[in-house]
Structure 1
Amino acid sequence: MYLTRERISLGRAGEEYAAKYLQKRGFRIVERNFRCKLGELDIVARDGPFLVFTEVRSMTGKAFGSPQESITDKKKKKLRQVAQFYAKFRNVGDTPMRFDVVAITADSGGNVIKLDHIVNAL
């Protein structure tokens, strides 16, 4: 799969929009775009006692399903592996953790027309 500039731009814009959305709801962003050999975490945040790993999915239209439907079982497994690595690497101890998904649907001009925040999604 090739990533076009438009697709990369939509992804980055979606992550920025999601981070601002989470902050407005009281989340404290700890880290963005954490990368390791296993993969990447889009947003790591605190929500009360929880360390929240947030996967951001941005799409235009619904020709290929909703953004949240684009998270395959393989992707879920990879996210769990990266989160386990992150927890060990950052020494988070017994901090309760969860996975959220912020699914953003935008129009062809990049304007957000829908945002779904799915708590404890995985």
Structure 2
Amino acid sequence: MGRQGEEAAARHLVGEGYTIKERNWRCPSGELDLIADDEGVTVFVEVRSRRDTGTFGSPEESVDMRKQRKVRETAAYYLYRSRATAGKSRIDVITILFTAEGQLLKLNHLKNAF
């Protein structure tokens, strides 16, 4: 389901005019699901998916303070490693809810989420 969610998120971003630069970028501090470009802004995208079964809470609830810290640290490391100089960046969250059968039910794109 995670890969399916990331694929749906990438399709959404491309449809909105973003360019996908990286998928599942890893480093010692963690992993970034998607890294995209939005008109010169580097966007780090955390994708959270859930099935609509009524258990485990919403995908939004799964982005807790610990996860936010991890994404921030990993994004900072990416910027350092890529030697990004001038330019803006932000962190977005895309939450996806699938039906119990795996069909896309809802996609929510939270820009500049934290």
Range of TM-score over shorter length? over 0.9
> For residues 20-57 of structure 1, what are the alpha-carbon distances to aligned partners after superposition, in whole Å with 9 as ceiling and x for unaligned?
11000000000010001110000000001210000000
Q: Which runs of 4+ in 1 moved over 6 A?
A: none
Letter in structure 1 aligned against 2:23: R
Could you tell me how far 1:114 is from its partner in structure 2?
0.5
Identity over aligned pairs, percent: 42
Could you tell me how far 1:95 is from its partner in structure 2?
1.4
Aligned equivalents of 1:38 and 1:63: distance in 2?
29
Q: Which has the larger displacement, 58-67 or 15-24?
A: 58-67
What is residue 67 of structure 1 aligned with on the other side? 59
Unaligned stretches of 5+ in structure 2? none
SS at match of 2:36: strand
2:38 to 10, 28, 47: 47
| Structure of higher RCO (CA pairs closer than 8 Å, 6+ residues apart) | 2
Could you tell me how far 1:111 is from its partner in structure 2?
0.5
Could you tell me how far 1:121 is from its partner in structure 2?
0.3
Letter in structure 2 aligned against 1:114: K
What is residue 57 of structure 1 aligned with on the other side? 48
1:111 to 97, 100, 103: 103
Q: TM-score, normalised by structure 1?
A: 0.90
Q: Within the alignment, does 1:82 sit opposite 2:77 as a pair?
A: no
Q: Which has the larger displacement, 109-118 or 63-72?
A: 63-72
Unaligned stretches of 5+ in structure 1? 1-9
Q: TM-score, normalised by structure 2?
A: 0.96
Question: Aligned-pair RMSD on alpha carbons?
Answer: 0.8
Letter in structure 2 aligned against 1:37: P
1:91 to 83, 91, 99: 83
Aligned equivalents of 2:104 and 2:86: distance in 1?
36
SS at match of 2:50: strand
